[in-house]
Structure formats: C-alpha cells, structure tokens
Amino acid sequence: MEAAGPPTQPPAPHPSVAPLSFLLGKWRGEGEGTFPTIAPFRYGEEILFSHHPSKPVISYTQRTWKAASGEPMHAESGYWRPRPDGSLEVVIAQSTGLSEVQKGSYDAEKKTVTLQSELVGNASKVKQIARAFQMVDGELSYIVQMATITNSLQPHLKALLKRI
Ligand code: HEM
C-alpha cells in the first residue's frame, strides 16, 4: 500500500498564466444585449476558464441561454494565451460560425483584460469586436462591443458573473 503523502495543494499555474489566475474557474451570471438594429434581450451565462500547469494557455468555454425560458442561445469557446509582458492573444470560435483572433493586454493588479479583434472570419455582418473584462468585488463583468457593416463600434453585450 502506498504511504499517505503530505496534504496535496492545487498545483501552481504555469508562470505565463499566473497573472490571470483570478479568471480561473467557473462563473455564472446574467447579461443584457443591445444594438441599434435589434430589440434588447436578457440572457443567462456560464463561463469556464480552465488550465493545465504544464501549458501557457487558458481554455475558455461559454454558453448562454434565454433568461425567461432557459432555451440555449449563443455559445463560444477558445484559447487565451497570456505573455509575461502583459500582452495576450485569444482565439474564439462562435456557435454562429464566426471566428475571432483577438489581441490585447491585461493588468494583473487591476484585474482587467482588454481585447481588440485583429481578425474576424466567416462573418456576414461583423467587422470588428472589442471585449473588456474587469473583476469588481470578486465578480467578473464584461462588455462586448461590435462594429457591423451598418453600425460603428458600440456595445452589444454587458454581463456580470459570480464564481460558482
Ligand atoms: C444580433 C453578432 C454575441 C444574441 C446580432 C447581430 C450580430 C451579432 C451581427 C445582428 C445585428 C444586425 O443585424 O445589425 C454577435 C457577436 C457576438 C454576439 C459578434 C459575440 C462577440 C451574442 C450573444 C448573444 C447574442 C452572447 C446571446 C446571449 C443576439 C440576439 C440578436 C443578436 C438575440 C438579435 C436577434 C438576431 O438577430 O438573432 N449579434 N453577437 N449575441 N445577437 Fe449577437
């Protein structure tokens, strides 16, 4: 029989990921969607940021549902690649078929992340996407802005999530 070892501690994250470890885990909350061309809507959302200590990357999965009925809405997943210099790049595949390459920066002290699309692929209307995340009192908030063929860059989504 194997001898009982010392109490196990969660392994330290990869050094590249450590400054963004405030994101790691599962989040659930609610958001609202707007744009000049659509009727405003409310949605529920779950986000999972996961990580293996041997890799300098965070896996990201998100799903949303209609606040009133629970019916699934948009979903997306991707990979976040932070660098020690405070920059990061993110790739995201959306359930609509749209794909994004995002570049930006993080601030480990302020617990913020800002991203601007460098590439939006396979999109019929979307020209640009900007994403901003912020931790406020232990809660994760974000704003997603988009520019389309008819409208300049402006908010489409705003949400607040609690750790679960
Ligand atoms: C509408 C893009 C995320 C729900 C739209 C439109 C675009 C778009 C281009 C049509 C606007 C127009 O016709 O002028 C995006 C992008 C997203 C995103 C790029 C992520 C970066 C989401 C999410 C949800 C959502 C997370 C749900 C939680 C809707 C709804 C509409 C809409 C309900 C209006 C109805 C419809 O056209 O289907 N979105 N969206 N979107 N979006 Fe999003």
Tell me whether 0.95 is exceeded by the ipTM. yes
Strands 25-33 vs 154-163: parallel, antiparallel or unpaired: antiparallel
* Atom of ligand 1 lying closest to residue 36 CA: 14
Q: How far is CA 44 from CA 39, 69, 78, 159, in A?
A: 17, 10, 19, 9
pTM, full prediction: 0.95
Measured on CA atoms in the order 147, 68, 96, 50, is the torsion positive or negative? positive
Q: How confident is the model at residue 97 (pLDDT cuts 50, 70, 90)?
A: very high
Looking at 4-13, 28-37, 70-79, which range is the least confident one?
4-13
Query: Could you tell me the distance, in angstroms and rounded to a whole number, from the CA of residue 70 to the centre of ligand 1?
Result: 17
Using one digit for the tens of pLDDT, what is the confidence trace for 114-126? 999 999 999 999 9
Query: Could you tell me the distance, in angstroms and rounded to a whole number, from the CA of residue 159 to the centre of ligand 1?
Result: 14
Closest by CA to 129, choosing from 107, 140, 114, is 114
DSSP state of 69: T
Query: Could you tell me the distance, in angstroms and rounded to a whole number, from the CA of residue 106 to the centre of ligand 1?
Result: 26
pLDDT for 10: 76
